[in-house]
Structure 1
Amino acid sequence: MPRALILGGTGPVGRAAAHRLLAAGWRVDVTGRDPARMPPELSALGGEFRAVDRTDSGALRAAVGEGTDLLVDCLCFTAADARSLLPLAAHATSTVLVSGRAVYIDAAGSHINSSTPPRFSGPISETHPTMTPRDDIGHRSREGYGANKVAAELVALDSGLPISVLRPSQIHGVGASPAREWAVVKRVLDSRTTLLLADRGAGVVHTTAAANLAALIETVAQRPGTRVLNCADPDTPSVLEICRTIAGHLGHEWEEVPLDDTAPTGLGRTPWDSPHPIVLDTSAATALGYRPAGTYAATIAPALDRLVKAAANGQPPADDDYFAEYLDYAAEDAFLAGR
């Protein structure tokens, strides 16, 4: 029975990967700081929780033990994190470092966290230019997140160890934070009868189901190597298509009101807006043997059901500051009254 150790295994990526591997007959240990966050479905499948802090190198080494077939790090954000990963990766047949599309820059040097939105000329491949690596700025800052991820990637890749760096885009799934779909789910639960859509809902930002990332993790586990791979859903739904998918799953209908650039600034915004398409080229992963678990519509249902259930239990997402701009009902009603 092969063994996997997932660092940060209670988050959306870790739980999806653990679930897929357990279902395939793997023995899986997941680490975290709070045992209460261990998904019960993983325990039911035989997954084991280890109370280990990502910064505790001794405890991590003990968790690896004599070795593991697969090591997945969902909590590697900086070069220092990557350096602490290497001694563990030396005892793993295959290692995965979860990075992200935030590392990419366009021809002008803009990235997804820039004040000026990036404008990519087409699908982004793994050889596309990335931000300059930095470790002198906090990884939680807008300029620091992608730059620190690049620095972490380089430490891992330069080691020569069989580490696969995976770059997803806007991860969605049970446990995702922020749970972007809440911006639409809450509207449904609040019985809103109109949906305003900035830029006519035409924006496209590639999404990545945690289930699809899990499928790629299983693929690289079976094919160890040192590489970088993009990971995204097999389709690229627009904002309008995403909103229709969510509303359709919840059995809700509303009037769609497409807005142009004459509408008030900020009105009709969603978490998936982008003035220019951001799409990942995933052909390298496909060539390796990766097969996605499903499209956005096929994979988002469990997360939507979980959000509805959490809201019914009085535990909706707590990211009020994040969702405020997408749920300004007063501004919407004022606009609609003046039509």
Structure 2
Amino acid sequence: MRALAADGWQVTAASRGGGSDGGWPPGVRTVRVDRTDTAALAAALGDGCDVLLDCVAYDGEHARQLLSLADRIGSAVVISSAAIYRDEEGRSFDTQEEPDGFPRYPVPIPETQPTVAAGPETYGTRKVELEQTLLAAGDRLPSTLLRAGAIHGPHSPLPRELYFVKRALDGRTVRVLPYGGTTRFHPVHAANIAELVRLAARAPGSRVLNAGDPAVPTAAEISAEIDRAMGRTSETVLVDGPPPEPTVGSHPWATQYPVVLDMTAAERELGYRAVTTYEDSLPGTVAWLVDEVTGADWKERFPLPAKLSDASGDWFDYAAEDAWLAKRG
């Protein structure tokens, strides 16, 4: 919002709630729209717009909805996902829970890396369907698809940093990191996505581009940076290999193999330069998280991380962790 307004665009923010944010620049118009209601979206577009940014398009049906309104849209920028990539053996995020199922991607992953097949089955396959449908109609609606990594920053519905922030708030002074703490999952701050959007809006085209921060910290580096932001000190116990117990050491960055995106295409095609780094942006994210979870039920406040935690057993099973540490000696 700020990046586009600062670049001279007249910005309208559409959402189901129709609300605004105190940090938005003056002049941003708001409108209440449910994207599943095509008539309401058409009404919100009115006579049309030069650029449409779609952060909540997930499948081919959403792509076809946008194409049905192509005569009112100059170009589109649509958020896709790095979850669409597969490795040379066919492994992807969809197979990561299978034995030996985590993908071995090249480091870094270029946009030419194969993707999963398009279809309605999973988040990744639906995103591929979204991409293919829009790209096939590039003559009608030029669309930039941004394959985002792990999105972070204040107001994220899936703040992975919550794992280490809550541990610090709970007074935990030790953390267990599998795979030697070296796991990497490419983050992208909302401000860097905004910069990509700003540049794509200036240069319409039909393309796919990765969206990531300029560097990819390891899990150990992330945990240490969060400690610094909170003024805490923790002991780190490194484990070679996977989490030693189902609820010990399982965290949101515990990917068995690295997921690192190649950003050279965005740099070449758009002149992209990141506006922030993970480390520089982290204090703002941490302060927001501390404010959000202090005195609150974290699972009610953040249902998506709660779902991930439940799927792995329990991110914060301190009794199991203490028992493992005691047995380890």
Q: TM-score, normalised by structure 1?
A: 0.87
> Which residue matches 1:334?
323
| Gap change, CA 1:251 and 1:24, over 3 Å in 2 | farther
SS in 1 for 2:76: strand
> Which residue matches 2:12?
29
> Which residue matches 1:128?
113
Q: Is the Cα contact below 8 Å between 1:183 and 1:323 reproduced in 2?
A: no
Q: Structure 1: how far apart are the matches of 2:164 and 2:26?
A: 32
Q: Structure 2: how far apart are the matches of 1:174 and 1:45?
A: 20
Amino acid in structure 2 at the alignment position of 1:326: W
SS in 2 for 1:192: coil
Length, aligned pairs only: 313
> Which residue matches 1:219?
199
> Which residue matches 1:270?
251
Of 275, 292, 307 in structure 2, the residue corresponding to residue 310 of structure 1 is: 292
SS in 2 for 1:300: helix
Deviation at 1:243, TM superposition (A): 0.8
Q: Is the Cα contact below 8 Å between 2:5 and 2:11 reproduced in 1?
A: yes
Task: Return 236-245 or 22-31, whichever deviates more.
Answer: 22-31
Query: Deviation digits for residues 84-143 of structure 1, max 9, x if unmatched?
Result: 0113343233211111011110011111131310011321111111111113x3xxxxxx
Deviation at 1:263, TM superposition (A): 6.5
Of 153, 160, 170 in structure 2, the residue corresponding to residue 180 of structure 1 is: 160
Q: Does 1:62 align with 2:51?
A: no
Aligned Cα root-mean-square deviation (Å): 1.8
Task: Return 144-153 or 309-318, whichever deviates more.
Answer: 309-318
Of 128, 132, 157 in structure 2, the residue corresponding to residue 154 of structure 1 is: 132
Q: Structure 1: how far apart are the matches of 2:44 and 2:283?
A: 34
Q: Structure 2: how far apart are the matches of 1:270 and 1:168?
A: 20
Deviation at 1:260, TM superposition (A): 2.2
SS in 2 for 1:99: strand
Amino acid in structure 1 at the alignment position of 2:17: D
SS in 2 for 1:60: helix
Amino acid in structure 2 at the alignment position of 1:40: G
Of 33, 55, 72 in structure 1, the residue corresponding to residue 53 of structure 2 is: 72
| Gap change, CA 1:285 and 1:63, over 3 Å in 2 | same
> Which residue matches 1:323?
309
SS in 1 for 2:237: strand
Q: Does 1:295 align with 2:305?
A: no
Unmatched 5+ stretches in structure 2: none
| Gap change, CA 1:315 and 1:222, over 3 Å in 2 | farther
Q: Structure 1: how far apart are the matches of 2:191 and 2:111?
A: 21
Q: Is the Cα contact below 8 Å between 1:133 and 1:149 reproduced in 2?
A: yes
Deviation at 1:262, TM superposition (A): 8.5
Query: Deviation digits for residues 221-269 of structure 1, max 9, x if unmatched?
Result: 0111111111101001111011111111111111111122497233212
Q: Structure 2: how far apart are the matches of 1:315 and 1:292?
A: 34
SS in 2 for 1:110: coil
Deviation at 1:69, TM superposition (A): 2.1
Q: TM-score, normalised by structure 2?
A: 0.90
Query: Deviation digits for residues 288-325 of structure 1, max 9, x if unmatched?
Result: 21111111112233221111111235364333343353
Unmatched 5+ stretches in structure 1: 1-17, 138-143
> Which residue matches 1:13?
none
Amino acid in structure 2 at the alignment position of 1:57: T
